[in-house]
Structure 1
Amino acid sequence: MFASTRRILGQFFSKSRKINNEPLNKVSLIVIVLIDIFILVNVFTGLNDISRWHLDPSQAYPCYSDWQNYRTQTNKDSLDKQYEFLKLSFTYDNKTTSTFQQTYQQAEEGNLGKVSETCLQYAQRKDNINNSANQQALKAIDQKQGKISNLEQANRNIRTQYDSTLLEKIAGQSRNQSINSVGAEKAKQALEQNTRTISTLAKEISNLKNELLAKPEILSLIAFVNDNGNFIEVEKGYQQASFWYPSIQFGFQSIFLLPLIIIALLVHNFAQRKGYGLVSLISWHLLVIFFIPLSIKVFEFLRFGAIFQFVFDIISAIFGGLLFLISYIYILLIPLIGFGIIKFFQKVVFNTKAQVARRVQKSCCVKCAKAIRHHDSYCPHCGYYQYVECQNCHNLTYEHLLYCKQCGHSQDLINL
């Protein structure tokens, strides 16, 4: 196995560094490497672009996160929960001319997929509440809340000084020697005044919130969000989209890469048959470059795609919380898949016996594929010896072919 791997790697590097079995000079090698890097960067750029062609779950169901956040806020009372949700539904940027509905629909432009109809209805209700009167009411509440925060901070500072003043008074220290600017009596008065103001502002804020939440357009939005029936389909759609999205991405990436691989392979085979050394070298490099991202994307799909989710669900159902077993499965599965890919290309795509059979039929060198005369024992282009001795009849026959051309005996033992 190691000898076979070493031979494959040797052939790979030989094909990557030589033109017509002649080593590339340093300048040509640098140019080839720069071309490889440039093409590889553009291939990954194209893969990134095409992977975003289809709407991702958050674009197809943009209202799901809002509804999920609203549903999970169980530590607040109904009024605060509705008001916090309402604040997030407003836009304060006057320069923005697009509505929520238009913003959701813009995701469809130039992409595949559709935005959820429920989310568009949700966006329409959010647009209805975004008027100047409601925005002014929110600003008034925020201003009053800011005043309360300032007064509470002032009270904390006063309490600190008040406690220190009391200690000085108990110790019998004179007021002139005090380090505090406010006396105990004045501090107490200020605390009481600020507390009354805070209470008044809190009542005003509560009234404003109740008035705001009682408006018809806001009641419509809150009722729409509270009706879980509106979002059952959204939740199912979002979860299904999340499950299939990696597979969809991999499908589009494969559509992008496979034509490039097929074209590079056809050009490479044609160049080898015709003896176009430079074209053969460049097409070989392109073939390798196109296979690099494909291999990466295959392993990403196996790690995050539908297959991973399928394995995850099975292990979760059988072993419960022992999810670390997924890592064991992938440690075994990935090498097996990699081994299968290597065997496929070794036996099908780059099969030595199949290549030699085609070259012998066209009177070409079994090594470099250049045209030679039928009776030539050595290739005049690369110097490779064309024959091997048959172990049955001891006559010369072509290397790597299945049967001896003299006696027809199987040559499998020779070619091992």
Structure 2
Amino acid sequence: MFSHIRSFMTKTKSTLFTFNNEPFSKFSILLIIILDIFLFVTILTGIDSEKDMSPSVSVKYPYQCKNHFDPEYQRSVWNSATRGYIYDTFPFSEYESFYIPTHSAYYSGKKVQTYIDKRVAPLCTELYEKIAVFALSDLFKNNKELKNNLRNDKRNVLSEINSIEKRYNTALFEKISSTQQDRDKKIRDKYYTLLEKEKSIDKQIKEIKAVSAYKGYQEYADFVNTNRETFNKEYDSYAFWQPFISFLYLLKFTLPLLLLSLLAHRFSISPVRKVSVPNKLVTLISSHIIIITLLPILMDVLRLIFHIIPKRFLEKIITFLYQYGFIFLGYYFLMFLGIVSIGLVVFFIQRSVAKREKLRKEMKEKTLYIDAYNQSRCPNCRNRVDYSKNYCGFCQEELNRVCSVCHKRTPKHIQYCIECGA
């Protein structure tokens, strides 16, 4: 199969861009592009449907689940009162730290039904069930909303207090006498009222039931502590093997299509087949399907290589260097890698340029030799000569050679024998 692929790739250009040995018209090129886009989108859609059997790591272990098992994770919760973040760590104490991801399915009549994604790992599903015991209760939801509202109220109160403190010297409010203007008294009274309101809001926030006091919270915390090591092992194992499993599902969809296309291509160009328009159409379409099918396969192969070598191997090397204080070796290696990479790029560019220059010179020489033969001139000194003779009488240049096939004399600098064509 691979030898046929190599043979196919050498003929790709003429097969993909010509038909009946004639280049495509602009309209035909447009239709071919539309066909390629349709095939590519269809193949990618089919691959995605197969890959759903092996969900990505972020789907199997959502961050809403993974964060609970990470003791170093800090959940940032926005506090509207202070206009800053509160960093909540396990065991979480903020209402906002508990969230159960759900998906919605829409039905006729604008009915909505929520459900938990079945592709999620069992440990995550069980974790959500533990959280749901207290987080989905009416009391929890009401207190969560109440706490948010109180923080918003406190933000507004603090905003007014700050505004007054910027405009007035509040330290003098105690000295305001009854003889002074009513406006100053009103500002003073408003200021003290706002301070009392702030204290009242703080008191109400403190009186809200703590998250840890809900029934089911302790069971949730015990579940996380008990299963943290198991979760980490399962997560690391799945994160490593998931790309390989996903690649197998990709092959499950693409290999049959690739094999059928290769067989159709080989059948259409078989020497025993009659050269006809239908066969050429089969060759054209199968060629495009092969190329389009190979693209996602090659992309996933590169992704696997990156997954194994740089991401895993280099990560361990960097960890080792940091651990033993040899990180400077890593920088030396990066410099060496950069020098070698740039050097190789320059080398291949120069080699390509040299090859093109050599080919250009060879083509020029061949053209000069052919012109010299047609004009009966010596290719070396450009004087007129008789090619029935073996040497130039002016410069002693050899004019003819013996053909290795027919053993007859033929011009030395002409590529093929003029007697037998060999």
Unaligned runs of 5+ in 1: 1-6, 109-114, 336-390, 396-413
SS state at 1:83 partner: coil
Q: Bigger relative contact order, structure 1 or 2, given CA contacts below 8 A and separation 6+?
A: 1
| Contact 1:268/1:284, CA 8 A, preserved across alignment | yes
The percent of aligned pairs where both chains have the same amino acid is 21
2:58 equivalent in structure 1: 58
Cα 1:150–1:238, aligned 2, differ >3 Å: closer, same or farther? same
1: distance between equivalents of 2:171 and 2:141?
45
- TM-score under structure 1 length normalisation: 0.60
2: distance between equivalents of 1:311 and 1:22?
51
2: distance between equivalents of 1:81 and 1:260?
52
SS state at 2:55 partner: coil
Give how far 1:267 is off. Answer: 0.9
Structure 2 residue 321 is the aligned partner of structure 1 residue 315: no
2: distance between equivalents of 1:79 and 1:393?
87
1: distance between equivalents of 2:102 and 2:29?
58
Cα 1:8–1:264, aligned 2, differ >3 Å: closer, same or farther? closer
Give how far 1:131 is off. Answer: 1.6
2: distance between equivalents of 1:96 and 1:125?
24
Give how far 1:279 is off. Answer: 1.8
SS state at 2:240 partner: helix
Counterpart code for 2:74: Q
Give how far 1:269 is off. Answer: 1.0
Give how far 1:272 is off. Answer: 0.9
1:162 to 144, 159, 168: 168
Structure 2 residue 303 is the aligned partner of structure 1 residue 300: yes
Structure 2 residue 232 is the aligned partner of structure 1 residue 235: yes
1:268 equivalent in structure 2: 265
Residues 179-212 of structure 1 show CA distances to partners (whole Å, capped at 9, x for unaligned) of: xx942x54444333322332233123212234x5
- TM-score under structure 2 length normalisation: 0.59
2:142 equivalent in structure 1: 136
Cα 1:120–1:134, aligned 2, differ >3 Å: closer, same or farther? same
2: distance between equivalents of 1:89 and 1:54?
25
SS state at 1:216 partner: coil
2: distance between equivalents of 1:278 and 1:21?
13
Counterpart code for 1:149: R
| Contact 1:61/1:234, CA 8 A, preserved across alignment | no
| Contact 1:315/1:325, CA 8 A, preserved across alignment | no
Larger strand fraction of residues: 2
Counterpart code for 1:234: F
1: distance between equivalents of 2:337 and 2:266?
40
Correspondence list, 1:321-332, <5 A? 321=327, 322=330, 325=334, 328=337
Counterpart code for 2:128: A
Task: Give the length in aligned residue pairs.
Answer: 311
Please say which of residues 259-268 and 234-243 is displaced more in the overlay.
Answer: 234-243
2:283 equivalent in structure 1: 280
Give how far 1:394 is off. Answer: 4.2
1:73 equivalent in structure 2: 74
Structure 2 residue 109 is the aligned partner of structure 1 residue 121: no
Residues 76-112 of structure 1 show CA distances to partners (whole Å, capped at 9, x for unaligned) of: 69899733156534799998754xxx51xx333xxxx
Residues 239-265 of structure 1 show CA distances to partners (whole Å, capped at 9, x for unaligned) of: 222222233323322332222222111
Correspondence list, 1:332-411, <5 A? 394=406
2: distance between equivalents of 1:165 and 1:8?
89
Cα 1:308–1:92, aligned 2, differ >3 Å: closer, same or farther? closer
Give how far 1:310 is off. Answer: 3.6
Give how far 1:43 is off. Answer: 2.1
Give how far 1:67 is off. Answer: 0.7
2:392 equivalent in structure 1: none
Cα 1:289–1:11, aligned 2, differ >3 Å: closer, same or farther? same
Cα 1:264–1:96, aligned 2, differ >3 Å: closer, same or farther? closer
